Structure 1
């Protein structure tokens, strides 16, 4: 039992970055893992896979910027045939950690971390970026059609096009289109 726990700690400790005492400059880390990584994170989405992550850390007096480049493949189960297949993964993402007096997640990309933080573990960030890069429909490559290759963004664009063409046939002026309140809030922040 004890050796299992120490292996678990050892696997995730590969993703520790000691930030205490780092100078204000750029640092580079290369990390690589396989099935053990996915097992140790106690999640049900991915059981097997292998990947390499290149992390570029830029430290300044007020923040740490982390740039993640991940490549590899994970084993998924097809939603249609229930056969397993390898899905390639490719991800370029970033996280900004701002120094403050407490820990808080502000957005998906920006977090506040305590000034007293000595070490960060980037395993959860890497997993989240891998999970986000996976297709919404898990279809075996041999069963895929052009429709399956369309991602969610394409579907959204299609819906918008259909909506705008229907609007143009009614010949309603564009000014009457309701404005998303989030855009209004962003305009206020920009001072427009």
Structure 2
């Protein structure tokens, strides 16, 4: 996917409702070069309402799937994505961003939505992402169990700090 297609000529939009669609693929994610997601397929539906000569409301709806590392085994896993976001844009004297209001220089009139699309996708990814039970890499799971058992065995050999023991009694 060519990132140039994600640059919207705001001044060229007609008054009222406008509709655009994009299909993001691995090429897009590699071109963005952000750490959280490097692969996926996401369909973007963008509704733009132009009110007056210098104000635009952009409603993004993104659905698809991205590949993210599993928190347990670190293998890539499919994470479904569905998000709806709104962005208010106006034409002004210079480019700026304040919360959900973006100002685009009127002499340029071009809004590049490539990074906004990525941010919306990244925000839609749950904090915890793990494979379904039994789907993790078995070799990695075994290694984790071995190291976890070794650490817990060491803790049993060392006596507990008396301060912690006192706190545990309060818990009961």
TM > 0.5 fold call: yes
> Cα distance 1:143–1:115, how it changes in 2: closer, same or farther (>3 A)?
farther
Contact 1:32 1:52 in 2 (8 A): yes
Query: Superposition pairs for residues 69-108 of structure 1, below 5 Å?
Result: 69-107=61-99
TM-aligned CA deviation for residue 43 of structure 1: 1.0
Contact 1:15 1:122 in 2 (8 A): yes
TM-aligned CA deviation for residue 141 of structure 1: 2.5
Match of 2:28 among 23, 37, 51: 37
Contact 1:19 1:117 in 2 (8 A): no
Distance 2:96 2:55 in 1: 14
- In structure 1, the partner of 2:9 is 18
The C-alpha deviation readout for 1:35-93, integer Å capped at 9, x for no partner, is 01100012111111001000001112231111000000001111111122100000100
**5+ long unaligned stretches in structure 1:** 1-9, 145-192
- In structure 2, the partner of 1:59 is 50
Structure number with higher relative contact order (C-alpha < 8 Å, ≥ 6 residues apart): 2
Q: How many pairs align?
A: 134
**Two-structure CA RMSD over aligned residues (Å):** 1.7
Match of 2:131 among 140, 150, 157: 140
Distance 2:51 2:93 in 1: 17
Contact 2:104 2:111 in 1 (8 A): no
Distance 2:68 2:132 in 1: 11
TM-aligned CA deviation for residue 114 of structure 1: 1.6
Distance 2:22 2:12 in 1: 21
TM-aligned CA deviation for residue 143 of structure 1: 6.5
> Cα distance 1:119–1:82, how it changes in 2: closer, same or farther (>3 A)?
same
Structure number, greater radius of gyration: 2
Contact 2:92 2:103 in 1 (8 A): yes
Matched residue SS, 1:136 = coil
